[in-house]
Amino acid sequence: MSNRNTLIRSLHDLGLAAWFGGSLMGAVGLNAAAGVVDDPKQRGRVANAGWDAWTPVNAGAIGAHLLGGVGLLAANRARVINQRGVGASSAVKTALTGVALGLTAYSRIAGQKVSNAGDVPIESGTEPSEQTPSDVTKALSQLRRLQWAIPASTGLLLIFSALQGEQQRPEEQTRGHLEKATQLLGGN
């Protein structure tokens, strides 16, 4: 029986990389690029067209990440239980994944409000103009914060993935198992 988890690790890592990279590119590139469109009433349409095209790819990336994450958790369940630090990092990573999912869903809802408003004048993908209706201005304000919160949260997930990769080193497993055993036996 193989101890390799190449497929589930690839789903986990590639899905997360696309989720992070797509959200960061949207914040840095797509939303700003919409601002160079000559007609301020068309800027929202351009930004929304880009995000609408990205949404199914992003959903697939998130799904792949989640499927891979569940697979990795199942494959490493003994380490999660028996190696000191792995359970805690897994719990934090799971909670952070929930936060990133919530931010992504909320961003889609706010983006849909802008899209549903039609051709209203804006400065860029997340910046209102003086002529932008108040409800769209509010949604753009939310999107302006979310466009950075999503890559920040998925970036932290990448960091926790790196930590968990380090926890799989043989010397880390040995130390973690000994520390957990010592703790269970009443030691520090």
User: What pLDDT, in 10s, does the model give residues 26-65?
Assistant: 999 999 999 999 999 999 999 999 999 999 999 999 999 9
Would the pLDDT of 174 be above 80?
Answer: no
Alpha-carbon separation of residue 34 from 25, 53, 77, 78, 129 (angstroms): 13, 15, 46, 49, 13
- Cα 71 versus chain centre, distance: 18
Rounded Cα distance, 138 and 154, in Å? 24
75 assigned to some structural domain = yes
Cβ burial 28-61 (10 Å sphere, 16+ → b, else e): eebbebbbebeebeebbbbbbebbeebeeebeeb
19 assigned to some structural domain = yes
- Answer for the pair 8, 63: CB distance below 8 angstroms, yes or no: no
Q: Could you list the residue range(s) of the whole structural domain that residue 86 is in? A: 6-184
List pLDDT tens digits, range 8-20: 999 999 999 999 9
- Cα 8 versus chain centre, distance: 18
> 2: pLDDT confidence band, cut at 50, 70 and 90?
low
76 assigned to some structural domain = yes
83 assigned to some structural domain = yes
140 assigned to some structural domain = yes
92 assigned to some structural domain = yes
- Cα 5 versus chain centre, distance: 22
pLDDT given for residue 173 in this prediction: 65
| CA neighbours closer than 13 Å in the CB half-sphere of residue 5 | 17
1 assigned to some structural domain = no
Least confident residue range of 26-35, 74-83, 165-174: 165-174
The count of domains in the chain is 1
